[in-house]
């Protein structure tokens, strides 16, 4: 069994290598779908990386995403691309550290509301700053980065995210987080520095969200605070991760793919009833699939294997 990690990582690498050829096989529309899926895969997986084990529901996804996008909008034409990405990453980590240090003591509801309030606060302050100080509402992002380059960058970040998620899951930190998710009091009593563990993961998860925002920025060419800090992005990330299931690393992916396709279709066919249907989907997930698709699959498998064992035992008993 010692070879398992090697096999898993090798398989993952193969899948990502295959996905890198997608741009040569699809048209413009397929490309934009692929980018949307890659985008939400990173956001939802990064969200679940922190919220899955700790059960802290964060609505600040778009705060980090927007910080990344705005870093590109402000510095994109001044500095070389890798440096811009580095600055974005630093900004995101600093913000996450600040938020994490001040809020991770807050339990449940307070954390949810805080993260939501934080996003709105940042959006309001950026809007005010842009209107009052720089006298613009939006900014143009003219960078020579095409769709394929965006896709490959997202794919690279996603590969990095899955690799770190996999390694964390097998590390002491991952185990500590699972204990915290089970019962924080117990975790503290067995000597886990819960605040440190949560903070580390929160910053890591925020880092990936910030990078995604930075990579996605050139796609819009025009951004303003309402676009960059659109709370809808946070909501959709939560729905997708929950539909997929947050207890496994690949769980959110099972939510991202169907919902990205669904939202795209809804936007095209029912733009006026988009919110209504979004709400219904959300409710259905909460009521019918509280553990997500991954959880339901696991339960199904558990049920089947129990049945098989039972029938095997019956056979034995008869002989």
Partner 1 sequence: MLTNAILSGLTMGGTYALVAMGLTLQYGVSRIMNLAYGEFVIAACFAALVLFASAGISPLVALLVVAPAGFLLSWAIYRLLLMPLVRRAPSRGALEVDSILATFGMLFIVQGIMLALFGGDYSSYSYYNTPVDLFGTTIAANRLIVLAVALAVALAAWAFLMHTRSGTAMRAVAVDPVAAGLVAIDVRRVAAAAFALGGAIAATGGVLISMFLTFNANIGVVFTMKALIVVIMGGVGNVVGALVAGLILGLAESFVATFVDPGLTIAVTYAIFLAVLIVRPQGLFGARAR
Binding site residues, partner 1, CB under 8 A: 55, 57, 102-103, 106-110, 112-114, 116-118, 120-121, 124-125, 127-128, 131-132, 231, 235, 238, 242, 272-283, 286-287, 290
Q: Please, what is the minimum distance in Å from the beta carbon of residue 116 to partner 1?
A: 7
Q: Please state, in angstroms and rounded to a whole number, the distance separating the CA atoms of residues 123 and 231.
A: 10
The CB density around residue 111, as the number of other CB atoms within 10 Å, is 22
Cα angle 234, 237, 238; round to 5: 90
- The per-residue DSSP string of 225-272 comes to HHHHT-HHHHHHHHHHHHHH-SSSTTHHHHHHHHHHHHHHHHHHH-GG
Q: Please state, in angstroms and rounded to a whole number, the distance separating the CA atoms of residues 38 and 41.
A: 5
Q: Which is nearer to partner 1, 280 or 313 (CB)?
A: 280
Q: Which is nearer to partner 1, 43 or 278 (CB)?
A: 278
Q: Which is nearer to partner 1, 83 or 283 (CB)?
A: 283
For residue 223, the surrounding DSSP H or E stretch is strand 222-223
Q: Please, what is the minimum distance in Å from the beta carbon of residue 290 to partner 1?
A: 7
Q: Please state, in angstroms and rounded to a whole number, the distance separating the CA atoms of residues 69 and 74.
A: 9
Q: Please, what is the minimum distance in Å from the beta carbon of residue 128 to partner 1?
A: 5
- The per-residue DSSP string of 72-87 comes to HHHHTTTS-HHHHHHH
Query: Looking at the chain, how many residues does it have?
Result: 319
Q: Largest Cα–Cα distance in the chain?
A: 86
Cβ–Cβ < 8 Å for 162, 146 = no
Q: Which is nearer to partner 1, 277 or 312 (CB)?
A: 277
In the beta sheet, which residues pair with residue 222?
A: 140
Q: Please, what is the minimum distance in Å from the beta carbon of residue 121 to partner 1?
A: 4
Q: Which is nearer to partner 1, 176 or 241 (CB)?
A: 241
Q: Please, what is the minimum distance in Å from the beta carbon of residue 231 to partner 1?
A: 8
What are 291's two structure tokens? 């553990």
Q: Please, what is the minimum distance in Å from the beta carbon of residue 60 to partner 1?
A: 12
Q: Please, what is the minimum distance in Å from the beta carbon of residue 286 to partner 1?
A: 5
Q: Which is nearer to partner 1, 141 or 180 (CB)?
A: 180
Q: Which is nearer to partner 1, 216 or 266 (CB)?
A: 266
In the beta sheet, which residues pair with residue 139?
A: 223
Q: Which is nearer to partner 1, 21 or 287 (CB)?
A: 287
Q: Please state, in angstroms and rounded to a whole number, the distance separating the CA atoms of residues 184 and 178.
A: 10
Q: How many helical (H) and strand (E) elements, i.e. helices and strands, does the chain have?
A: 14, 2
Q: Please, what is the minimum distance in Å from the beta carbon of residue 2 to partner 1?
A: 38
């Amino acid at each position: 069994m010692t070879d398992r990690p090697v096999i898993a990582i090798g398989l993952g690498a193969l899948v990502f290598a295959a996905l890198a050829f997608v741009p040569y096989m699809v048209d413009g529309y397929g490309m934009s779908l692929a980018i949307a899926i890659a985008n939400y895969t990173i956001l939802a997986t990064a969200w679940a990386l922190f919220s899955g084990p700790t059960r802290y529901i964060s609505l600040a996804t778009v705060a980090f995403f927007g910080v990344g996008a705005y870093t590109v909008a402000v510095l994109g034409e001044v500095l070389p691309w890798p440096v811009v990405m580095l600055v974005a990453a630093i900004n995101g980590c600093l913000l996450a550290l600040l938020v994490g240090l001040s809020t991770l003591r807050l339990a449940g509801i307070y954390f949810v509301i805080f993260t939501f309030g934080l996003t709105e606060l940042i959006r309001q302050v950026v809007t005010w700053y842009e209107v009052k100080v720089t006298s613009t509402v939006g900014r143009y992002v003219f960078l020579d980065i095409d769709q394929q380059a965006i896709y490959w960058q997202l794919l690279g970040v996603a590969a990095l995210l899955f690799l770190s998620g996999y390694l964390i899951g097998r590390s002491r930190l991952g185990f500590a987080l699972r204990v915290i998710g089970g019962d924080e009091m117990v975790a503290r009593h067995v000597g886990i520095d819960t605040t440190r563990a949560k903070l580390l993961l929160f910053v890591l998860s925020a880092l990936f969200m910030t990078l995604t925002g930075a990579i996605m920025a050139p796609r819009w060419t025009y951004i303003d605070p309402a676009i960059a800090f659109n709370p809808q992005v946070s909501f959709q990330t939560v729905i997708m991760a929950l539909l997929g299931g947050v207890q496994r690393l690949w769980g959110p992916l099972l939510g991202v793919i169907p919902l990205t396709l669904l939202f795209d279709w809804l936007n095209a066919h029912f733009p006026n009833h988009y919110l209504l249907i979004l709400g219904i989907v959300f409710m259905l997930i909460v009521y019918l699939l509280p553990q997500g698709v991954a959880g339901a699959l696991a339960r199904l498998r558990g049920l089947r294997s129990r049945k098989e064992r039972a029938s095997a035992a019956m056979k034995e008993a008869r002989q």
